Chains A and B, each alone.
Chain A
Amino acid sequence: MPEATLVEAINLALARAMEDDPDVVVLGEDVGVNGGVFRATAGLQKRFGAERVLDTPLAELLISGLCVGMAAQGLKPVGEIQFMGFIYPCLDQLVNHASRLRNRTQGRLTCPMVLRTPHGAGIRAPEHHSESTEAMLAHIPGLRVVMPSSPERAYGLLLAAIRDPDPVVFLEPTRLYRAAKGEVEDNGEALPLDTAFVLKEGRDLTLISWGAMLKETMAATEALSAEGIAAEVIDLATLKPYDEDTVLGSVAKTGRCVIVHEAARTGGFGAEIAATIAERRLSSLLAPVTRVTGYDTVVPMARLEQYYMPSVERIKTAARTVCQFS
């Protein structure tokens, strides 16, 4: 099987979707001739034409609003927001329109769109390029929020997102765009949405994460293993709606749970998972559900960002702490 980076897998999935379905269009800033600032759309305009791979004016609200209109007409738009720090003008469109068009018209109009954006810190980018605000998107009823953590899942989940009949926000871990490499077969097969992936089985505790933080989480797991702690690792992959069954099943088995996310702690998505576990698996718990997260401060610029993001060490410490409860 050929090897691909995560961003190459995104590119493969976009090309495959456009090849399979003439209704798929790609739009965003610099996605055409330039092939995207991260090269996610490289070669697509040449292959599918400027009408289907469209360089938009520099206007994020417009990109998301265009997607809503196109989708209502039966196209399958895939919009790109260059960095997550620029997604906020789209919130009006996502909250007021994309997520509720089907519901408010009682199924008369639908909104099969995908809005892709790079997610997270760690690439020494300028200010406003390092956000991880997935929880505010996951709060919106009617949306799907998806975040892959490997090239294989990026390919399969993006295909699923494009084929899904409802709006999907697709968050791509910037830090893994080129750092993550893996075998990707361009076979057009989608992975299921709303399904978490168990990356490693273990009996002692459950580690739950998504996106780029899986890298640190897996590294911590290796080290813990050497200490005799067998962690089960879940890649949540879809945050909205998230796979409660896999999470609760794992916690019922291990009795311990550490949630790792890069986003700030307060109101982060870890809180949602912790609350669900407390509501539904309290009797299984051997230790408090613990969060290892970014801090409740503004994401710092390049010089301090490494201190902001959860480290392997912090994850290990949290895991050891919950394992000390008996």
Chain B
Amino acid sequence: MASRRVNQDLPVIARFEVRHRNYLAPDGSIQRPLPSFASDSKLLTELYRSMVLLRLFDRKAVALQRTGRLGTYAVSLGQEAVSVGIASAMRMEDVLLPSYRDNGALLWRGVKLEEILLFWGGDERGNRFSGPVHDFPFCVPVGSQAPHAAGIAYALKLRKQPRVAVCLFGDGATSKGDVYEAMNFAGVHKLPLVFVVANNQWAISVPLRQQTACETLAQKAIAAGFIGEQVDGSDVVAMRAASEEAIAAARDGHGPRFIEAVTYRLGDHTTSDDAARYRSAEEVQAHWKEEPIARLRAYLVAQKMWSKADEEQLAAECHARVEVAAERYLATVPRRPETMFDHLYADLPEAYAAQRRELAGEPDA
């Protein structure tokens, strides 16, 4: 802790600690004994496959955006391990509340690639997705889904269901009252809720040091009365392990947890952003040495769980999946304009039904 002028004569009444978790070093070497699931080569390769698919999908989405066939899009480049790692530790009956950069979590939970494209292509039907029906859609107003997560977790607890809500957001969101209010409430009621902050160091152009004076974001959980852990968010093994522990604790009635996933946004904030305006190429280049996919691949190759042939086959598979999804997305039949009134209310009040008819070119009733 930074030096502070404190009166040393006063007794200390509380001390807090924040732990850091990391298993794989950036070069894929092992830092400390791995968690038991790491012996499951099927799981590890599945995590790897999901991250690779996400990266290729992002590339395709950006290409679609650059050619005018998709709206603004947020890539996960460099932080794929965060959303994939947490989602892999969830059960389908758990409830996901993603931010707009959590495509990886949605894909793991069964949302189709073309549904994600549909959302970013400006069509609400992308939110009526094939993932769990109770999962929330992407949240665009930063951090505003955190109170929803608390409300959901309260409902799960009230009904004594062994389910957990998982709320994802970025470092910028930790500056918002929404997030703190939700954390505070979750602490009071020991809710089955796991908060995960993808600390990718940048909230568009604002660096972490202008976001907070805290040494860690994990320590924000301490103020809400529960455990916050800092995790190497570019190490998917650490993300998965931390997520497993946090979700199990929440499910078993031990209350909320907070995971700070320290990672780096290698890409622009979105396709509408140019990160070169506010950060140096050298900084970005340095973080490329830590990125999660190369890291896990190095480990898998060293363990002989992965080969060059596997890599080539995976690339071909992902390419094919992404291309098929893009074709399906582009072939989606457009909605009729008047459907913007659909699902506004359970039953559209007559006052607005008239406007719907007007838009549809139908005669007024």
Question: Which residues of A are in contact with B by a Cβ distance under 8 Å?
Answer: 25, 51-52, 54, 56-57, 59, 61-62, 64-75, 77, 89, 92-93, 96-97, 102-110, 141-142, 144, 164-166, 194, 241-242, 244
Contact = CB atoms under 8 A, between A and B. Distances in A.
Interface string B117-151: 00000001101110001101100010011111111
A165 B346 contact: yes
A57 B147 contact: no
A70 B144 contact: no
A102 B343 contact: yes
Contacts of B158: 25, 51-52, 75
A110 B134 CA distance: 10
Interface of B is mostly: helix
Contacts of A110: 346
A70 to B, nearest CB: 4
B309 interface: no
A57 B185 contact: yes
**Max count, chain A CB within 10 A of own CB: residue among B145, B154, B342:** B154
A26 to B, nearest CB: 12
B128 A59 contact: no
Contacts of B349: 194, 241
Contacts of B342: 103, 106-107
A241 B129 CA distance: 30
A89 B147 CA distance: 12
A68 B346 contact: no
Given A65-B146, A73-B156, A106 B151 contact: no
21 contacts: A51-B158, A57-B185, A61-B177, A61-B178, A65-B182, A66-B147, A69-B165, A70-B151, A73-B95, A97-B145, A102-B346, A104-B137, A105-B124, A106-B125, A106-B342, A107-B128, A107-B342, A107-B343, A108-B129, A108-B133, A244-B351
Contacts of A164: 346
B186 to A, nearest CB: 10
Interface of B: 95, 124-125, 127-129, 133-134, 136-137, 141, 144-156, 158, 165, 177-178, 181-182, 184-185, 188, 342-346, 349-352
A64 B182 CA distance: 11
Given A66-B147, A105-B127, A74 B181 contact: no
A118 B123 CA distance: 38
B155 A73 contact: yes
Contact of B154 (A57, A66, A92, A106): A66
A96 B145 CA distance: 10
A89 B351 CA distance: 29
A66 B346 contact: no
Nearest to B123: A106
Contact of B181 (A61, A109, A165): A61
Contacts of B188: 57
Nearest to A141: B344
A62 B185 CA distance: 8
A168 to B, nearest CB: 11
Contacts of B352: 141, 241
A313 B76 CA distance: 65
A59 B179 CA distance: 12
A177 B165 CA distance: 39
